């Protein structure tokens, strides 16, 4: 039989076999290994004579050291050492600089403990809203927090993503029951057992640390949706429940994949292709790429986009996608016009002209928007540089 620690290390190895990720996951697995089980099993299976030699050695230790060892052994055997280490590192985001670019404030934010590596993230702040760099940092923390909770719950509790529920607000507390509700009128009563971990910022906390109005996520499993863990979130609820005032104020910017020197932004969008996202040229050969740019001009056969680099990209639509969208789109009175910003996902061979995208190469064309959760027809605000 394999040593218990060894089995945890093997289980921690990700499918990708990435060294950096494996090291991070391995360290977490070591901390989370069932030390109490290992300790008690070692005592149960040790020969009697060896046990006697062990306790003879303990007799010669200072009293204070013996007390520490005994307390540690009790914690390990009973499993209460669970609360003695961090379940995950709490995400942090710090604003390092702010500059005006693309017509808006761009906050460069130093992001830590979000996944397996630290990074610097550029967040664009909407010029029409009340946002500021510090609130942008909180928004990033909330996004990272949900990611680390999901990762922990799937790897340590063995649950599916659908069993990790967020974001809810505590409406009433009457232990062992806690009533919660979501923005979408989903009201639930959670029953906490004495073994249900309550977690905040990667540490276990007590029931008394929960209060009405707290934002929470929770993990369930089994046919009866048994509560496995309750997580108190660190930011106000609006940072997690896709509230329009937050989600339409802060957008992440990054280099467009496959197009160095160009900048792409993560915003809501509408599919321009009739087939929907990913529906065209799914088997196009070459490297997958992404470009965003404002519409310089378009005809029935092509459109020209200017990304942030200033170069002009020509997309040969072939199917008159833009004119068809404008004439019969299912979203109501919204049409693609000059200066609108489009996103194109496509594949290209290394020998192809990087500034020309042929009709057999693109996978998706989308119109970028400012607003989210706007489902009524025609009620869309476009994103412009």
**Eight-class DSSP state of 185:** S
Element (H, E) at 136: helix 133-156
Q: List, in sequence order, every beta strand (DSSP E) within 67-186.
A: 92-101, 104-112, 119-125, 164-174, 177-182
* pLDDT for res 275: 57
- Rounded CA separation 287/349 (Å): 6
Query: Residue 111: is its pLDDT beyond 90?
Result: yes
Query: Residue 57: is its pLDDT beyond 70?
Result: no
- Average pLDDT (236-245) is 81
* pLDDT for res 226: 93
* pLDDT for res 98: 96
Query: Residue 188: is its pLDDT beyond 60?
Result: yes
- Rounded CA separation 82/348 (Å): 51
Residue 142 neighbours by CB under 8 Å, 6+ apart: 233, 234, 235, 239, 240
Query: Residue 54: is its pLDDT beyond 50?
Result: no
Residues facing 362 on adjacent strands = 346
* pLDDT for res 324: 85
The fold for domain 257-368 equals OB fold (Dihydrolipoamide Acetyltransferase, E2P) (2.40.50)
Least confident of 82-91, 334-343, 355-364: 82-91
Question: Is pTM, for the whole model, over 0.75?
Answer: no
Query: Residue 272: is its pLDDT beyond 80?
Result: yes
Q: Are 120 and 110 in contact (CB under 8 A)?
A: yes
Residues 108/113/117/120 CA torsion (nearest 10 deg): 0
SS3 340: coil
Please state, rounded to an integer, the average pLDDT across all residues of the chain: 78
Query: Residue 31: is its pLDDT beyond 60?
Result: no
pLDDT in tens, 290-303: 999 999 999 988 99
- Average pLDDT (365-373) is 81
Least confident of 19-28, 122-131, 248-257: 19-28
User: Per-residue DSSP letters for 230-261?
Assistant: EEE-SS-GGGTTT-HHHHTTEEEEEEPTT-TT
Element (H, E) at 114: none
Q: List, in sequence order, every beta strand (DSSP E) within 60-150.
A: 92-101, 104-112, 119-125
Q: Where are the domains of the chain?
A: 4-84, 92-239, 257-368
């Amino acid at each position: 039989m394999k040593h218990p620690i060894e089995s945890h290390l093997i289980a921690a190895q990700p499918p990708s076999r990435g060294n950096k990720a494996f090291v991070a996951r391995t360290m977490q697995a070591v901390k989370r290994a069932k030390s109490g089980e290992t300790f008690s099993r070692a005592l149960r299976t040790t020969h009697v004579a060896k046990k006697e030699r062990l306790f003879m050695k303990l007799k010669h230790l200072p009293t204070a050291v013996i007390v520490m060892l005994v307390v540690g052994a009790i914690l390990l055997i009973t499993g209460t050492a669970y609360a003695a280490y961090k379940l995950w590192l709490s995400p942090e985001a710090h604003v390092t600089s702010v500059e005006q670019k693309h017509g808006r404030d761009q906050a460069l934010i130093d992001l830590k403990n979000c996944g397996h590596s630290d990074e610097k993230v550029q967040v664009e702040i909407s010029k029409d809203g009340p946002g500021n760099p510090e609130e942008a940092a909180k928004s990033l923390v909330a996004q990272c927090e949900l990611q680390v909770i999901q990762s922990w719950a799937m790897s340590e509790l063995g649950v599916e993503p659908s069993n990790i529920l967020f974001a809810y607000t505590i409406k009433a507390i009457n232990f062992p029951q806690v009533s919660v509700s979501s923005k979408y009128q989903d009201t639930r009563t959670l029953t906490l057992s004495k073994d249900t971990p309550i977690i905040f910022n990667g540490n276990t906390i007590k029931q008394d640390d929960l209060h009405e109005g707290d934002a929470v996520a929770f993990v369930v499993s089994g046919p009866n949706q048994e509560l496995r863990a309750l997580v108190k979130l660190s930011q106000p609820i609006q940072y997690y429940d896709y509230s329009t005032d937050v989600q339409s104020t802060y957008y992440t910017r990054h280099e467009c994949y496959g197009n160095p020197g160009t900048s792409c932004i993560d915003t809501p969008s509408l599919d321009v292709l009739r087939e929907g996202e990913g529906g065209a040229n799914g088997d196009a050969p070459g490297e997958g790429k992404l470009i965003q740019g404002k519409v310089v001009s378009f005809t029935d056969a092509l459109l020209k986009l200017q990304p942030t680099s200033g170069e002009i990209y020509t997309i040969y639509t072939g199917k008159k996608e833009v004119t068809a969208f404008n004439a019969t789109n299912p979203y109501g009175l919204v049409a693609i016009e000059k200066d609108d910003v489009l996103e194109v996902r496509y594949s290209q061979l290394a020998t192809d002209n990087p500034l020309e995208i042929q009709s057999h190469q693109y996978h998706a064309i989308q119109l970028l928007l400012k607003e989210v959760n706007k489902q009524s027809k025609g009620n869309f605000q476009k994103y412009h540089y």
